[in-house]
Amino acid sequence: MNLNATIAQLLARDGWTLDGHVARQGRRRISFFTPDTPVAKFQRIARQDRDRFLHLAVVVAATAAVMHRLRTPQLADRYPRALFTSLEELAGPLRPRTTTVATFHAEVLSNRPTEDRSHYRLVFRAPELSGLVPPQFFMMDTLPERFPFGARTVNRGPVDWTPRPMLKRPFGICRDFHPHFPADYLKRLALPPSLALTLHPPAPDHFDLLYKVLPEGLGTNLMTKLNRGDRVHMLGPLGQPFDVRPLRAAGVEEVHIIGGGVGMAPLITLVEALRFYAFPVKVFLGIATLASLRLQDELAVTFGESPRAAYVYLDDLLAAGVKPADIFLSCDMARPRRVRGLPAANLHQGLVPEQYRRFLRERPVPQAMAITCGPHRMMEVMTGICRAAGLPLKVLLEKRMGCGFGVCFSCVQKVRHADGSEDYARVCREGPLFDAEEIVWKPNSQPKWAGCGCAARC
Ligand SMILES: Cc1cc2nc3c(=O)[nH]c(=O)nc-3n(C[C@H](O)[C@H](O)[C@H](O)COP(=O)(O)OP(=O)(O)OC[C@H]3O[C@@H](n4cnc5c(N)ncnc54)[C@H](O)[C@@H]3O)c2cc1C
Ligand code: FES
C-alpha cells in the first residue's frame, strides 16, 4: 500500500496538504514516523512545540495489534508526546475495539473531597485499565488490600464490629491521563477530522474516579478512608465499549451530553473521546449546589489550574476542550453564580431536563444525538423530551451489581425489543449504554428474582 497516497487522500478532505512525511495546514504540522525512528526526533518535536500542539508526531505501525502494543504505558518513553496509527486503520474500515478483562491491584494516588464532602475524587494508577473504552466500567473493593476479601471485621485493638462489604462496587472512569500529555491537552489539540478517526493517544496509565458518598452507602463511606499508597483490588474493564468514531459516517454532526449529578462522572471520558475525534459537543450538567462541585484547594493542581478553587466536572469539561459557551449548568437547590466563564444565559435554576427542553425549543439543532446518565426518573423524562424532538438518545444505566460480568443477574433491566417482545438485559454485560427507546421505564421493572435478596449488606 502507498502510505503517502493514503494519508494525503484522508488529509485532503480536511484541507491539509502532505509534503514528504509532513502534513501542513496554516501553522499546524503533523510529522509521520515509522516505529524504529530514533527517540531524539520525538523529543525534539515535543521540546520545540512546548505543549502548544501545533506540531504533532504520529507513529505509523504496520498492524493495529502492533500499534496497540506500542502505545502501552510501558513503551510510552520510547515515543514521547506521539500519537499512534496503523496502516490497517488508515486503509479502513474502522476496526471494532476489543478489551481484555483483568484482575489487578490499583495504587491510590489521592482521595480528596469536595467542599461539602458529598463527592470524592479518587486518583489511582492502574495500567491494566489502559484498554478501557468508555463507558466501560470496573468493579473495585471498597477496602484496601490490608483488609483481605471476606474479612467482615477488622481487629484494631478493641474489636471493630463495623460491617465490611464483601462485594466489589461498580464505577466508571471520570478521566484518564496519558503519559507525556498534559491533563488539558485536548484544549489545544485540533486534529483533521478525517485523519483523527484513525489516530490514538498513548494508552492512559492513571485515572480519576469521581464518586458520590451515599448517605446509607456502606462501600462509598469506606472508600472515603482510602489513602495515598493503598492498594485496592479491581476487576475490569467490564461492559460493552461504545466506539464513537462511526457516528461521523452515520451523519451525526453534534453530540449532547446530559448528566444529572454524579451521573456526569462516567460521561466525561465520552466527552474526551468525542473531542479527540473532533466532534462538536454540548454538555448539560444538573447539580444540587455549587459547593458539591468545588474541590478542596490543594487538588486544583491536578487540572493544571490555579491552586485556588477547582470545580469537578466543569474543569474536566474545560480541560477536554469544551468551550464555556457549550456548557449549560442547572442547580436545583440554589441560583447558580457565574462560574468559570459560563455565559449567564447558560445558568439555570431548576432541573437539567427543563433546561435541555428549553434549549431544544429555542435553537434549531443540526443532525444531533444525545447521551444521558443520572437518576432513573430524570432519564425517563429525557427519553420523552428527545422523542418529542426526534433526537436519538442513549442512556447509561447505573444498577446495583453483584458480579459485574453477567452471572448473578442482580443488575437486570426490563427492555422492549423492536418486535414488541419484552425481556431482561444485564446492565453489566449488555450495557451499561442502551438505546433509550429499548428501556421499559417502570418502577417495578426489576424482577423479584434479581439479586441475592438476602438481608445482609454484602
Ligand atoms: C456502570 C456503573 C458506573 C457507575 N459509576 C459511578 C461513578 O462514576 N460515580 C459514582 O459515584 N457512582 C457510580 N456508580 C454507582 C455506584 O456503583 C454506587 O453508588 C455504589 O455501588 C454504592 O455503593 P455503597 O456500598 O456505598 O452503597 P450500598 O451500601 O450498596 O447501598 C446504599 C443504598 O444506595 C442504593 N444504591 C446503591 N447503588 C445504587 C445504584 N447504582 N443505583 C441506585 N441506588 C443504589 C441502595 O439501594 C441502598 O439503598 C456506577 C454504577 C454503575 C453500575
Ligand atoms: S452484576 Fe452480575 S449479572 Fe450483572
- 387 near 404, Cβ under 8 Å? no
Share of the chain above pLDDT 90, in %: 56
Q: Answer whether 401 contacts ligand 1 (Cβ < 6 A).
A: yes
Ligand 1 center from residue 214 Cα (angstroms):
8
Please state whether beta strands 17-19 and 22-25 pair in parallel, antiparallel, or not at all (unpaired). antiparallel
Q: Does residue 407's CB lie within 6 angstroms of at least one atom of ligand 2?
A: yes
**Pocket mutation for ligand 1, best pick of 118, 167, 212, 400 (most atoms within 8 Å of C-beta):** 400
3-class secondary-structure state, position 441: coil
Cα–Cα dist 33/300, whole Å: 36
Write down the residue that cell numbers 477536554 correspond to. Answer: 320
- Best probe residue, ligand 1, of 117, 133, 169 (max atoms within 8 Å of C-beta): 169
CB of 320 within 8 A of CB of 304? no
Q: Decide: 171 in ligand 1 pocket, CB within 6 A.
A: yes
Q: Which residues contact 209 (CB under 8 A, 6 or more apart)?
A: 121, 122, 123, 124, 171, 172, 173, 174, 265
Which cell is 315 given? 474543569
DSSP string, 156-208: SSSEE------S-EEEE-SEEE-TTS-TTGGGT----HHHHTT-BPPPP-EEE
Give the pLDDT confidence score for residue 1 in this predicted structure: 56
Question: What angle in degrees, to the nearest 10, is found between the helix axes of 352-362 and 376-389?
Answer: 10
pLDDT recorded at residue 370: 96
- pLDDT of res. 105: 94
Domains belonging to the chain, first-starting first, are 3-91 (no CATH), 102-186+201-238 (2.40.30.10), 246-400 (3.40.50.80)
212 Cβ closer than 6 Å to some ligand 1 atom: yes
The ligand 1 atom at the shortest distance from the C-alpha of residue 400 is 41
The pLDDT of residue 80 is 92
What residues are paired with 119 via a beta bridge? Answer: 212
Length in residues, the chain: 458
Q: Ligand 1: does its nearest atom lie under 6 Å from the Cβ of 214?
A: yes
Assigned C-alpha cell, 313:
466536572
Cα 140 to middle of ligand 1, angstroms:
12
Divide the 458 residues of the chain into consecutive groups of 10 and give the mean pLDDT of each group: 76 86 91 94 93 93 90 89 91 75 93 88 93 93 71 52 79 92 91 89 92 91 92 94 89 93 91 92 90 64 52 88 94 79 90 94 86 93 93 94 93 91 94 94 57 45
Per residue, what are the HEC states of 415-428?
A: EECCCCCEEEEEHH
Please report, for residues 271, 409, 434, the alpha-carbon distance to residue 427 in angstroms, rounded to integers and kept in the order given: 21, 9, 9
Using an 8 Å Cβ cutoff, are 135 and 432 in contact? yes
Determine whether the shortest distance from the Cβ of 404 to ligand 2 is under 6 A: yes
441475592: which residue's cell? 452
Cα 71 to Cα 184: distance, rounded to the nearest angstrom: 19
Ligand nearest to the CA of 413: 2
Cα(124)–Cα(148) distance, integer angstroms: 19
